[in-house]
Amino acid sequence: MEERLPHGYTNRTRHVADGRVEKRYDGPARWDNARRELACLEALSSRLPVPTVVDRDPSVPMIVTEPVGGLHGQDLIDEGHGRQVLRLVGEALRSLQALDPALVAELSGAGPVIVHGDFGPQNMHLDLAAGSVVGIFDWESARVGRSVEDLAWAEWIVRMHHPHAVRDLEELFDAFGAEPPWSERQQAMISQCRRILAYCESSGMERSAADWRGLLARTESWPGL
């Protein structure tokens, strides 16, 4: 019986030999997603803490990566470490956006920075004792875009799933080095929700699409700060 990893919702991830992680991509865009993530992992491996690819099978498609230590960011927030987690998330995003988008030639889009596309504590492992991010995962939605996109999505994750940690968001903005206006951040959140909803609808994922319609409505209803 496979040991499917928690916190994985879109694709199938499981532990295989020696603690390595196998990721099999699902959905109609799985080949493009796998190709995009592989390009990011290989191009960014010497610059950011991303998993090391040790095997791949483009026909499945599938990749296998080396084990990554640390603990999941969302679990750490739930344990009361929101301030430290969000500071590390902000520092990681600042490092990502300091990179030249030309490093990953396969990315589409227009803008000044690499956009992870699903950035935040939900796709990170952290070592709080060392004060470091040890793994940034799930690059299949990466593109080139605007600086606010990943910042706003990290904030969305906190507001939607960890409301008790909203007070800790100041650490995210401080470590990142900027706090764009709420209207700009909320619009970026809405755009991302619509992007995910459109993907679910085009893929025939009606149950997920219904969920995202609700999440979009909640995001649109958040009052101005």
Beta strands 124-127; 71-72: pairing state: antiparallel
Beta bridge partners of 72: 125
d(CA 75, CA 82): 10
* Tokens encoding 218: 């909640």
Side chain identity, residue 83: R
Q: Are 85 and 155 contacting, i.e. CB atoms less than 8 angstroms apart?
A: no
H helix runs in the chain, sequence order = 30-44, 73-78, 82-97, 147-161, 169-176, 182-202, 206-221
pLDDT in tens, the chain (225 residues): 345 555 555 678 999 988 899 999 998 889 999 999 999 999 999 999 999 999 999 999 999 999 999 999 999 999 999 999 999 999 999 999 999 999 999 999 999 999 999 999 999 999 999 999 999 999 999 999 999 999 999 999 999 999 999 999 999 999 999 999 999 999 999 999 999 999 999 988 999 999 999 999 999 999 976
Q: How many CB atoms lie within 10 A of CB 107?
A: 20
| Backbone dihedral region for residue 23 (phi beyond 0: left; psi -120 to 50: alpha; all else: beta) | beta
Considering the entire predicted model, what is its pTM?
Answer: 0.94
SS3 82: helix
Give CA torsion, residues 161, 173, 68, 104, to 10 deg. Answer: 110
- The structural domains of the chain, ordered by start, are 3-65 (3.30.200.20), 71-221 (3.90.1200.10)
Q: Are 80 and 166 contacting, i.e. CB atoms less than 8 angstroms apart?
A: no
